[in-house]
Amino acid sequence: MNVSTGQVTAAAIGLSLIAALVGGAVGAVVAGGDDDPAAPAAAAPAAGAASCDVAAVAARVFPSLVTVNVQRGQAGGLGSGSVWDRDGHILTNDHVLAPAAGGTVTVDFARGPAGVPATVVGRDPATDLAIIKVDPAAARLTPITVGDSAALVVGQPVVAAGSPLGLGGTITAGVVSALNRYVDVGQGETPAALINAVQTDASVNPGNSGGPLTDCAGRQVGVNSAGAQTPEGDGGSIGLNFAIPAGFARAVAAQLIRDGRARHPVIGVLSVSVTEEMAGNTGLPRGALIEQVLPGFGAAGGGLRADDVITSVGGTAVNSTDQLLVAVQEHKTGDTVDVGFTRAGAAQRANVTVTEP
């Protein structure tokens, strides 16, 4: 769903917008969610809508939480991040790093040293994700556990962690308000969007960008990235905040760590995830429900249509848009892949060519 009411801004101090259009808007896949040993292993499905022990979540998340400080001359800002692995990689938003392009980056650990120098490993403005790295010997590293963002349900409790307004080690709690949001966060002539975002009423303010959104077991299910404001721009969280799904972020991070950049192969569809709740209410299978097929791309050439539900790509099962993105990325530009889908309840298959936009 397109969120356009009021004003949506990236939640980083020193920057007012995400300077990128997420490649997922054209069915892009930006990284592999494969067996990359540097990436945290996905955990079991996220906790259900039961009571949430926020104090226990904080205790588990704080050792993995950092504040990211950027500076270049008089320009600078700060955001948040999560320790990704024991090699010193840290996941954050690309827009957190933008003010320091060519400048310096340091990290303050919520439960450790401050001012630790960091280097930029890879940035992907198209998805607003980035990886930085610290010397593994500079601090005791506790990688965050990654949960299953595809298993999120509306109403499920979640917790946001970060450094709003520079106040490190801050925890706020709320619920998943909605899923599959398309959020326009552009300002002026610069287009920017979050695709397939998790909406939450957990308070997110400037400085929270790049920090983890977690389930009640302390597993990261999203990357806090933007918050809505009133049309008057009075500032502060109004309970409309958005996070990049962790499954998608995990895939991007793997490629940034491996290659320093992310590729964007596509099949050319706009889709939303068929969640377990949606499947139960509609009878649709779990998968990626096509909202639009873009002309000139592989999906159109393979005969896919709006309202088809993609359930597999190249033999890899797909039960969400995030998994669709990851599955497509496993193939090279020019490859023809077998796509399984359902149309009006009937299972079908199509040969689809993978391209790059």
pLDDT category at 29 given cuts 50, 70, 90 is very low
Which of these is catalytic: 94, 128, 148, 201? 128
Burial class (CB in 10 A: 0-12, 13-18, 19+), 52: buried
Distance between CA atoms of 332 and 353, rounded to whole angstroms? 10
- pLDDT tens digits along 189-238: 444 456 678 999 998 888 999 999 999 999 999 999 987 766 665 566 67
Distance between CA atoms of 66 and 91, rounded to whole angstroms? 10
Residue 32, CA atoms < 13 Å, CB-side half-sphere = 13
The size of the chain, in residues, is 357
Q: Does the structure show a pLDDT above 90 at 256?
A: yes
Active site residue 331: no
> Average model confidence (pLDDT) for the chain?
82
Distance between CA atoms of 44 and 193, rounded to whole angstroms? 29
Q: Does the structure show a pLDDT above 50 at 295?
A: yes
Instruction: Kindly list the structural domains of the chain, giving each domain's residue range(s) and its CATH number in brackets, ordered by start.
Output: 2-258 (2.40.10.120), 269-353 (2.30.42.10)
- pLDDT tens digits along 133-147: 999 999 999 999 999
Distances (CA, A) of 64 to 118, 160, 286, 297: 16, 13, 32, 41
Which of these is catalytic: 209, 273, 312, 320? 209
C-beta separation of 330 from 308 below 8 A? no
Range of lowest pLDDT (192-196, 291-295, 318-322): 192-196
Distance between CA atoms of 119 and 341, rounded to whole angstroms? 43
Segment 48-64 shows an average pLDDT of 86
Reading the block at residue 95, the tokens are: 């827009």
pLDDT at position 75 is 84
Per-residue buried b or exposed e for 224-251, using 16+ beta carbons within 10 Å of the residue's own CB: bbbbbbeeeeeeebeebbbbbbbbbbbb
Distance between CA atoms of 194 and 216, rounded to whole angstroms? 24
Q: What angle do the packed helices 246-259 and 321-329 form, to 10 degrees? A: 20
* 306: Cβ contacts below 8 Å, ≥ 6 apart: 290, 291, 292, 293
Distance between CA atoms of 85 and 146, rounded to whole angstroms? 11
336-341-346-351 Cα dihedral, nearest 10 degrees: -10
Distance between CA atoms of 355 and 26, rounded to whole angstroms? 11
List 292's β-bridge partners, or say none: 270
Active site residue 259: no
User: pLDDT higher for 297 or 190?
Assistant: 297
Which of these is catalytic: 89, 95, 264, 331? 95
List 109's β-bridge partners, or say none: 66
Range of lowest pLDDT (238-242, 280-284, 337-341): 238-242
Global pTM?
A: 0.74
Distance between CA atoms of 229 and 103, rounded to whole angstroms? 30
58-60-61-67 Cα dihedral, nearest 10 degrees: 90
Active site residue 128: yes
